[in-house]
Amino acid sequence: MKGQTEMKIIKIKKEAWGQGLEKLQSEFRLFGPVADKDGFEFKELAQGQLPVMDLGNTRLSAKSTVYPQTQVMFNYTLDESKEDHHIMKEVDLNGQPQAVIGLRPCDAASFQLVKRNFDNPEYPDPFWVRPYEQSTFVGLACDNPSPTCFCTSVGGGPYSENGLDVLLSREGEVILAKVITEKGEALAKAAGWDTDADENVFDERRDAAEKKITAKINSDQLKGKNANDLFSAPIWEDIAFACLNCGTCTYSCPTCWCFDIQDEVKGTEGKRMRNWDSCMYPLFTLEGSGHNPRPVKEMRVRQRFMHKLKYYPDKYDSDVQCVGCGRCIDLCPVNIDIRDVCETMNNYKPLKSES
Amino acid sequence: MLTYAEKIRELSAQLLREDKVDMVIGFRKGSLPMSNEPCMVKNPGDADKLVWDSNCGVNLASYLTDRKERIGIIAKGCDSRNINTHIIENKIKREQLTIIGVPCTGMIDKRKVSNSVDFDIIEVIEEADKVIVKGAGSEQTFDKKEVLRKNCEVCIHPNPVVYDEMVAEKVDINQDVDRYADVREVEEMDSDDRWQYFEDLLSNCIRCYACRNACPLCYCPTCFVDESQPQWLGKSTNATDTRGFHFLRAYHCAGRCTDCGSCETVCPMGINMRAFTKKLEKDCLENFEWQAGLNTEQRPPLDSFNPSDPDAFVK
Amino acid sequence: MQNPYLPYPVRIDEIITETEDKNLKTFKFVFLNPEDEEKFSYKAGQFAELSVTGKGEIPIGIASSPTEKGFVKFTVNKTGLVTKYLHNMQVGDIMGIRGPLGNWYPWKELEGKNVVIIGGGFAFTTLRSSIVYMLENRDKFGEINVIYGARSPGLLLYQEELKAWEAAGDIKMHITVDATDDPDWKYNVGFVPTITEEKAPPADENTYAIVCGPPIMIRFTQPVLDKLGYAHDHIINSLEKRMKCGIGICGRCNIGEKFVCKDGPVFTLEELNNLPFE
Amino acid sequence: MEHMGIEKDRLHFSWISSAEATKFIDVVTQVTESVKALGPAKKFVKAG
């Protein structure tokens, strides 16, 4: 992998952690989990604010650090006395470098899945790619995965380094940092973290953490199935019945990337922006003619699962578009469980099978 | 609770077997502790899947909107009131329905339980009035009334107001509850504090509209917030637009809301948007002696006129 | 990195009301920066996002042909927020176009072949582009048949051009309307599928059909083409979906794993047969 | 509106017949004055 460095493990004591982060703030915008009402979320850290590192995963994913829910793309003026009226002007995307501290390996891996969409060869999306390139990801290994975590069955793990520049592992007050990339090394240097650790406990801790993950999904049969068979399988009415089309699954999902583009004007000054959108909403696909290819919820629910578990793996010849963070399972108000849906799809056999 | 579930299964299987309904809408066992999944059962043999416990908070009236089949539906107090509202608003016909009433002893607030224990919950068991929460090597027991949803704590209509069958004797109603203590608290604030109160309340709203989509009253084909001609509200996470959404949605529910708590239950961020709807519910009660969905004969206050309607605000 | 969301600024040069119900207008745009015209190099069958500042964007098929220089043309049906606003704009107003987007009719493959164009209603825009393109390169194609219908004579697009093509005789025109009470109407009367059955040439290895129209027309034309023996890889469709980004990123216009905006809008029927029926 | 924290005096309701010119003037004057006294609205106003 490009930017890979020779593996190095650093020991960071409590004071050095706080001091280091403070030092980083002169160079980086820092994001990390902070308390928010009865949960916590990724937010930009204020000067001297420490990220919460000793609780479970954030309610929403870390995707907003690169891909905020509302993002201005262009500004313009409708004032005809100005020379450039009605012409779109790109917002400045060359912001300060940023570092995301304390994201879990599942969220880190999600950026790698989403990258295929935004950083595609034909039309790389600057509004995603630039913030992504400016980010250093400092992950926190999960020693206490939650009962709905199933990262290990989708190619990840509580100590997975995929998509991370640095991986942290906590033990009491001491943090061990495994430097993975050159970006990570630069960050550690800027923070002044330079005490080599005496031993490598990562492998040992990884094995212990992985053993704690009991939830899993089976998607091994999906590759070989025909998308049209799954699409027309008589399984969707039952799967979708309870769904309220609330979209919570898509908003909380680290790998859901769909968006809408909207213009907003105040006085003569306008902006074009994009906002997260969701395939759960009927308006998502409603055409100008009034025709809607997905008018009923069964179709929308099917789209969500087919996209994640079948279209994406087929399109990119990869694993499923899911990192096993379990958020959609925890947050679904009617208990639609992607593990069960995946199982149903995985086991589905078309009635008139040709074999 | 077991008897409730048994009775529900028996009645449902019978309705299906005798071809009195095409489907029964109820709950099946969820994949997580404190979760059940709304489902429909079409074959008498599948009626065994139906369950009933204190995790059936989702309002099943939401699943009736514009359905054409003959439907058996399991209804607790609030569900039954929303079924009546649906009938008044022509969203379903009474003749289509066979209502299996469930006297409700209140639903558990999953979030409250999760926040009250410091371990990952693996199993939750209900025994009489106790809720036993189990984690890996840990266990904690609560009185059920400690972990009820907020709307259930102050519910005065736990028994179905309309039904064809009942699965058990009606439960006693606690009429002494102070239903509006929380609303009064806000009413007593000055203007700026009230503004701030709602500002804080909505600060983490992600505009996912789960509250609207779960609400049995919100069945408009195109919600005002999604309209583009005219575009009433912006679509970003702007605080003014967010407040505009919640505020207007509450108004659209005025005189119709049964305080079933679905909106709050489903909110991924745990926002208590009942703070809006409950004020209107209180006003309807105080000004028009109205509680939504108690019967299908009376028209709701906002679509009927009475010379005695209060009008002191008109100068 | 070229920002794929940034529209090229254009000025409205001419507005033509196409149909008697005034719901369809053709807009002729001129690029504010002449070098943008070069960047906006397109092929017949592609589309672009028309960007109206303050209102939003709409995906519209390009109606002008790559052989027509100095401007681009789009015919827009008045339906939603953006199109209603656009219909009220004036010559001289500044807006944007973003593209060209999507794929095009397979011109390489069609060279030396017979082409039957079957169109209905206002979906004739990229077909106009194609006809003009083929006429400019007439020697590269075999026999060209055009079957084009609308509900009534007043709803046909590009009426002057249709007459001119009919008169010139380089291509076989079969104009039709569903019904008319105009005693002077000298063309066909009947639905597009019926006229297709009567007029379309028999299928062979060298004949391709390009079909573009409302879903109902496509549904009823299909069996006719099957009857005439057209192979599914010789039937070319252009599809519509709600689109936003136009570049396969925003996620809404997929059919299975394909995005209509980027992998389409042009698909052969054979390709569509292998995708979920959405 | 009031419950949500909008100043009470920003919203007025009145029933005025087309024949009641004087009442109309009085009400409009009173509304204008009470709103002027409050100053520009800061709540429920969207920042640019």
Domain count, chain D: 1
Highest mean pLDDT: which range of B190-199, B239-248, C3-12: C3-12
pLDDT in tens, A5-48: 557 889 999 899 999 999 999 999 999 999 888 788 999 999 98
Q: Is residue B165 part of a domain?
A: yes
pLDDT band, residue C1 (cuts 50/70/90): low
pLDDT tens-digit readout, C199-225: 888 888 899 999 998 888 888 888 888
Where do the domains of chain C lie, and which CATH numbers do they carry? 8-100 (2.40.30.10), 107-238 (3.40.50.80)
Q: Do B214 and A246 touch (CB under 8 A)?
A: yes
Span A335-343, average pLDDT: 91
User: Residue B30: its chain A contacts at CB < 8 A?
Assistant: 335, 337
The answer as to whether D26 is a domain residue is: yes
Res B2: pLDDT: 55
Nearest-neighbour CA in chain A from D48: distance (Å): 6
- Contact between residue D41 and residue B232 where contact means Cβ atoms under 8 Å apart: no
- Does the structure show a pLDDT above 90 at B41? yes
Place of tokens 């939750």: B124
Task: Write out chain A residues lying below 8 Å of D48, CB-based.
Answer: 266-267, 269
Q: Give domain status of residue B314, yes or no.
A: no
pLDDT recorded at residue B278: 87
**What is the residue extent of each domain of chain A?**
4-60+91-212, 227-260+277-347
pLDDT, one tens digit per residue, over C30-40 is 999 999 999 99
Q: DSSP string covering B271-297, please?
A: --THHHHHHHHHHHHHHH---TTS-SS
Q: Are B101 and B41 part of one and the same domain?
A: yes
Nearest neighbour of B266 by CB, restricted to A252, A283, A333:
A333
Residue contact A269–D46, C-beta within 8 A: no
B234 and D46 within 8 Å at the Cβ level: the answer is: yes
Q: Which residue of D has its CA nearest to B187?
A: D3
Q: pLDDT band for position A229 (50/70/90)? A: confident
Determine the pLDDT at residue C61: 92
Peptide bond into B230 cis (omega under 30): yes
Interface residues from chain C to A (CB-CB < 8 Å): 1, 3-7, 9, 32, 51, 53-58, 77, 79-80, 83, 93-96, 215, 240-242, 244-245, 247-254, 256-257, 262, 274-278
Closest CA to D38 of D8, D5, D1: D8
Select the more confidently predicted residue: A269 or B289.
A269
User: What is the predicted ipTM?
Assistant: 0.85
* Mean pLDDT of chain B, nearest integer: 88
Q: Which long-range contacts (CB under 8 A, 24 or more apart) does C164-168 make?
A: C165/C131, C165/C135
Same domain, B184 and B239: yes
H or E stretch at A341: helix A338-347
Mutation site for B-interface testing, chosen from D1, D2, D4 by largest number of B Cβ within 10 Å: D4
- In chain B, whose CA is at the least distance from the CA of D10? B191
**D2 lies in some domain:** no
Residue D14 located in a structural domain: yes
**pLDDT digit string, tens, across residues A46-93:** 998 999 887 778 889 999 999 999 999 999 999 999 888 899 999 988
pLDDT of res. B75: 94
Give the range of the structural domain holding residue B66, as residue numbers without chain letter. 1-105+154-177
- Regarding whether B160 and B43 lie in a shared domain, the answer is yes
Contact exists between B and C (3 or more beta carbon pairs < 8 Å): yes
Residue B8 sits in the same domain as residue B117: no
Is the residue at B312 inside a domain?
no
Q: How far is D14 from chain B (nearest CA, A)?
A: 5
> How far apart are alpha carbons A329 and A253 in whole angstroms?
10
Query: Do C and D touch (≥3 CB pairs < 8 Å)?
Result: no
Phi-psi region of C139 (alpha: psi -120 to 50; beta: other; left: phi over 0): alpha
Provide the strand spans (E) within chain B.
Answer: 23-29, 36-41, 71-75, 97-101, 121-127, 130-135, 138-143, 165-166
Interface size between A and D, measured as CB pairs under 8 A: 4
Query: To 5 degrees, how large is the angle CA C198–CA C203–CA C207?
Result: 110
Chain A residues within an 8 Å CB radius of B37: 242, 334-336
Containing structural domain, residue D18: 8-38
> What are the tens digits of pLDDT across the range B290-304?
888 888 888 877 777
* A307: DSSP letter: I
Q: Does B115 touch chain A (CB under 8 A)?
A: yes
**D46 touches B at CB < 8 Å:** yes
Query: In the prediction, which pLDDT does B59 show?
Result: 92
Mean per-residue pLDDT for C20-35? 92
User: By C-alpha distance, which of B258, B266, B253 is closest to B78?
Assistant: B258
**Mean of the per-residue pLDDT values of chain A:** 89
Q: Which residues of A touch D45 (CB under 8 A)?
A: none
Report if residue D44 sits inside a domain.
no
Give the span between the Cα atoms of B76 and B101, in whole angstroms.
Answer: 6
Q: Is B251 on the interface with D (CB under 8 A)?
A: no
Asked whether residue B311 is assigned to any structural domain, the reply reads no
Percent of chain C with pLDDT over 90: 42
Q: What is the pLDDT of residue B79?
A: 93
Q: How many domains does chain B have?
A: 3
Q: Chains contacting A with at least 3 CB pairs below 8 Å? A: B, C, D
Using one digit for the tens of pLDDT, what is the confidence trace for B253-288?
888 899 999 899 888 888 998 888 888 888 888 888
Domain-located, residue D16: yes
Identify the pLDDT of residue D48: 55
CB A74 within 8 A of CB A89: yes
Q: How do residues B88-129 score in pLDDT, each as one tens digit?
A: 888 899 999 999 999 999 999 998 998 888 888 889 998 888
Residue B48 and residue B158 in one domain? yes
pLDDT(A3) > 60: no
Closest CA to C145 of C167, C122, C124, C170: C170
Does some domain include residue D32? Answer: yes
What is the rounded CA–CA span in Å between residue A153 and residue A143?
17
Per this entry, what is the length of chain B?
Answer: 315
- AA letter at C111: E
Percent of chain B with pLDDT over 90: 36
Strand intervals (E) in chain A: 4-12, 29-36, 39-44, 70-77, 89-90, 98-103, 135-140, 166-171, 174-181, 259-266, 269-276
Mean pLDDT of chain C: 89
C80 to chain B: nearest residue by CA?
Answer: B229
Listed in sequence order, the residues at least 6 apart from A316 whose beta carbon sits closer than 8 Å to its beta carbon are A116
State residue C156's pLDDT score. 87
Residue A1 is predicted with a pLDDT of: 45
B124-159 pLDDT, tens digit each: 998 888 999 998 888 999 999 899 999 998 898 999
Residues of D whose CB is below 8 A from B197: 5
Judged by CB atoms closer than 8 Å, whether chains meet at A337 and B31 is answered as yes
pTM of the predicted structure, to 2 decimals = 0.88
Which residues fall within 8 angstroms of residue C58, CB to CB, at 6 or more apart?
A288, C49, C50, C52, C76, C80, C82, C83, C86
Would you list which residues of chain B are within 8 Å, Cβ to Cβ, of chain C?
A: 228-229, 231
CA–CA separation, C197 and B153 (whole Å): 71
Write out chain C residues lying below 8 Å of A289, CB-based. 79, 240
Question: Same domain for B77 and B31?
Answer: yes
Distance from CA of A219 to the nearest CA of C (A): 18
Q: Tell me, yes or no, whether B138 and B278 share the same domain.
A: no
Do the domain assignments include residue D47?
no
Please name the residues in contact with C79: beta carbons below 8 A apart, sequence gap of 6 or more.
Answer: A288, A289, A290
CB contact under 8 A, A275 and B226: no
Pair B10, B159 in one domain: yes
Q: Do B36 and B4 share a structural domain?
A: yes
Tokens coding A84: 């450039």
Residues with Cβ within 8 Å of D1's Cβ and at least 6 positions away in sequence, in order, are D10, D11
C1, C2, C5, C277: best to mutate for the A interface, most A CBs within 10 A: C5
Instruction: Write the DSSP assignment of chain C as a string of letters.
Output: ---TTPPEEEEEEEEEE-STTS-EEEEEEEESSHHHHHHS---TT-EEEEEETTTEEEEEE--S-TTS-S-EEEEEE--SHHHHHHHT--TT-EEEEEEEES----HHHHTTSEEEEEEEGGGGHHHHHHHHHHHHTGGG-S-EEEEEEESSGGG-SSHHHHHHHHHH-SSEEEEEES----TT--SEES-HHHHHHHHSPPP-TTEEEEEES-HHHHHHHHHHHHHHT--GGGEEEE-----SSSSS-S--SEETTEETTTT-SEEEHHHHHTS---
SS3 B250: helix
Nearest chain C Cα distance for residue B233, angstroms:
14
What's the confidence (pLDDT) of residue A2?
A: 46
Distance of CA D6 to the CA centre of its chain: 11
A221 or A325, higher pLDDT? A325
Q: Are residues B256 and B218 in the same domain?
A: yes
Interface check for A269 against chain D (CB to CB < 8 A): the answer is: yes
| Whole-number Å distance between alpha carbons of A49 and A36 | 14
Whether B184 and B169 share a structural domain: no
Quick: pLDDT tens for C225-270.
888 888 899 899 888 788 888 888 898 888 888 888 889 899 998 8
Kindly report the nearest CA distance between residue A242 and chain C, in angstroms. 22
Scored b (16 or more CB within 10 A) or e, C191-212 reads bbbbbbbebbeebeeebbbbbb
Give percent of chain A above pLDDT 70. Answer: 97
Q: Are residues B165 and B68 in the same domain?
A: yes
Sheet holding A39-44, edge to edge: A4-12, A174-181, A166-171, A135-140, A98-103, A29-36, A39-44
